[in-house]
Structure 1
Amino acid sequence: MCRRSSAAHGVEWARVADEAGLDVFGVGEHHREDFAVSSPQVVLAAAAAQTTRIRLTSTVTVLSSADPVRVFEDFATLDLISGGRAELTAGRGAYLESFPLFGQPLDRYDEYFEDRLELLLRIRDQNPVTWSGTTRAPLEEAGGWPRPFQPALPVWLAVGGTPSSAVRAGALGLPLYLAILGDPQRFAPLAELYRRSAAEAGRSPGRIGVTSHFYVEATSQGARDTFYPHYSSYIGQNMPRAGRLDRASFDSWAGPRGALFAGSTAEIVDKILWEHETLGHTRFLAEVGLGGLSQADTLRSIELLATEVLPAVRSALHLDAPLSQDKAGKGRS
């Protein structure tokens, strides 16, 4: 698939997700040949023009290698364009390509993230802002414009499994995303650490969201037969140290207690509810379109998530407010 088609397909995912009744659409930031999107805010602005209700978020913005002032202004602009539907997820990213690309030393990896997160939150909450740090020039009574449509731009923190990151999110009172790769139960201590850190800082804990690789069909066998070759290719390309993903391992990952959501609508519902009991999250982000999966299969999976999975989860949890929500898969070239 060409890069143009891949990026355009992502915008169509947002339109279909919005029309089908899902609650949030997200796009990740990558600086690699095998991913189509390096600027989530640009793609989300295109999605804003074709949607009316769905929330629009980055998943994630690689804040360590971005200027927080520019990030804030871009997402504030997106918020104005969309009528108050923008969110931002700050993270370190799953890959390191952005550091040499933007001339930043890897040995200051943690310093860059902490410094720039502080500035992002400062400019979100104060205007004008005075700030000094160690990774960019200081600001003195500087204005950050435009201001968003919402009173405060929502900022989430993404955590891949590092306890200190969960502590940071809790202490700052920011909502948390857990990227579920591996045994979902190992993330339960991180969720508890997050809640405890918020309490110790005198804050109410924010929402917890989880992100998981996802594909659903009417039957389990059909879903796994369709998705396996694509997902195996995805793992081989993005996680080469894991080696070749054989079918037995794939089926194990997609089992009732595995991290991979690939199966029938009933299986997906049961797994979301089990993870909710384990982690207590209130947002589920389905990462779709992986491994060159066809546009037709991806759109059908999004529609099933909206029309069959989401209503069943809400009914089981006696919820009127959103729980299960859709996330765009990372655009493929």
Structure 2
Amino acid sequence: MKFGFVMPSGNVHEAVRFAEAAEAAGWDGFFVWEPVWGNDPWVTLAAIAVRTQHIRLGTLLTPLSRRRPWKLASETATLDHLSNGRVILSVGLGAPDTGFANFGEVIDRKTRAELLDEGIDILSGLWQGQPFNYEGKQYHITETTFFAT
């Protein structure tokens, strides 16, 4: 059995200290919350990555329908390289609305599910490092090559 520590909130400095302590105590993973506002989870995890050696890193859940898949592909590939392969990416719909509607984001479950499904296809395609294009209901990508770090 493996064990992970979840830090739902707090500042980046606290997160780094908790992650260092979790690693020293033998925990297997350290996960942060991905809120609408507040500390960016991927920047927080990058700070943790440079201060730890073995503990796995990720978000509690990344609501992929709220993110641009190509940006998330870049962020996670960069963090995975920085951490020497310790990233765990957990994606899903997320809560129906935890403040996203305030910013004009789609909150309809069906549309978010389409964005999630297409986003997973795009992440997988981009991470291959080969020429990639995509034609979906929500996303249209002309041929590009993603250069993962």
- Please indicate the TM-score interval, normalised by the length of the shorter structure: 0.7 to 0.9
Asked whether the equivalents of residues 56 and 86 of structure 2 are also in contact (C-alpha less than 8 Å), the reply is yes
Whether 2:37 is the aligned partner of 1:25: answer no
Q: Give the SS at the match of 2:27.
A: coil
Alignment deviations for residues 171-218 of structure 1 (CA, whole Å, 9 cap, x no partner)? xxxxxxxxxxxxxxxxxxxxxxxxxxxxxxxxxxxxxxxxxxxxxxxx
Aligned to 1:144: 146
**Percentage identity across aligned positions?**
31
Asked whether the equivalents of residues 36 and 100 of structure 2 are also in contact (C-alpha less than 8 Å), the reply is no
Q: Give the SS at the match of 1:140.
A: strand
Matches of 1:98 and 1:89 in 2, distance apart? 20
Report the alpha carbon displacement of residue 9 of structure 1 after superposing the two structures with TM: 1.0
Asked whether the equivalents of residues 24 and 56 of structure 1 are also in contact (C-alpha less than 8 Å), the reply is yes
Asked whether the equivalents of residues 25 and 56 of structure 1 are also in contact (C-alpha less than 8 Å), the reply is yes
Provide the alpha-carbon RMSD of the alignment: 2.2
1:119-158 equivalent positions in 2, closer than 5 A: 119-125=122-128, 127-136=130-139, 138-147=140-149
Q: Give the SS at the match of 1:131.
A: strand
Note closer, same or farther for the CA distance 1:60–1:19 as it changes in structure 2 (3 Å cut). same
Gaps of 5+ in 2: 1-9
- TM-score, with normalisation over the residues of structure 2? 0.81
Report the alpha carbon displacement of residue 110 of structure 1 after superposing the two structures with TM: 2.0
Aligned to 1:112: 115
Asked whether the equivalents of residues 65 and 102 of structure 1 are also in contact (C-alpha less than 8 Å), the reply is no
1:29-68 equivalent positions in 2, closer than 5 A: 29-31=34-36, 36-37=38-39, 39-68=40-69
Q: Give the SS at the match of 1:26.
A: strand
Note closer, same or farther for the CA distance 1:43–1:104 as it changes in structure 2 (3 Å cut). same
Note closer, same or farther for the CA distance 1:102–1:111 as it changes in structure 2 (3 Å cut). farther
Alignment deviations for residues 225-266 of structure 1 (CA, whole Å, 9 cap, x no partner)? xxxxxxxxxxxxxxxxxxxxxxxxxxxxxxxxxxxxxxxxxx
Q: After TM superposition, which residue ranges in structure 1, 4 or more long, deviate above 6 angstroms?
A: none
Matches of 2:62 and 2:97 in 1, distance apart? 13
Report the alpha carbon displacement of residue 92 of structure 1 after superposing the two structures with TM: 1.4
Gaps of 5+ in 1: 148-333
Amino acid at match of 2:112: Y
Amino acid at match of 1:12: R
Matches of 1:69 and 1:120 in 2, distance apart? 7
Asked whether the equivalents of residues 129 and 147 of structure 2 are also in contact (C-alpha less than 8 Å), the reply is no
- TM-score, with normalisation over the residues of structure 1? 0.39
Matches of 1:63 and 1:98 in 2, distance apart? 15
Between Structure 1 and Structure 2, which shows a larger proportion of helix residues?
1
Note closer, same or farther for the CA distance 1:52–1:68 as it changes in structure 2 (3 Å cut). same
Amino acid at match of 2:30: F
Aligned length: 139
Q: Give the SS at the match of 1:50.
A: coil
1:245-284 equivalent positions in 2, closer than 5 A: none
Matches of 2:148 and 2:124 in 1, distance apart? 15
Note closer, same or farther for the CA distance 1:106–1:94 as it changes in structure 2 (3 Å cut). closer
Report the alpha carbon displacement of residue 85 of structure 1 after superposing the two structures with TM: 1.1
Whether 2:92 is the aligned partner of 1:91: answer yes
Note closer, same or farther for the CA distance 1:125–1:146 as it changes in structure 2 (3 Å cut). closer
Asked whether the equivalents of residues 57 and 87 of structure 1 are also in contact (C-alpha less than 8 Å), the reply is yes
Higher Rg of the two aligned structures: 1
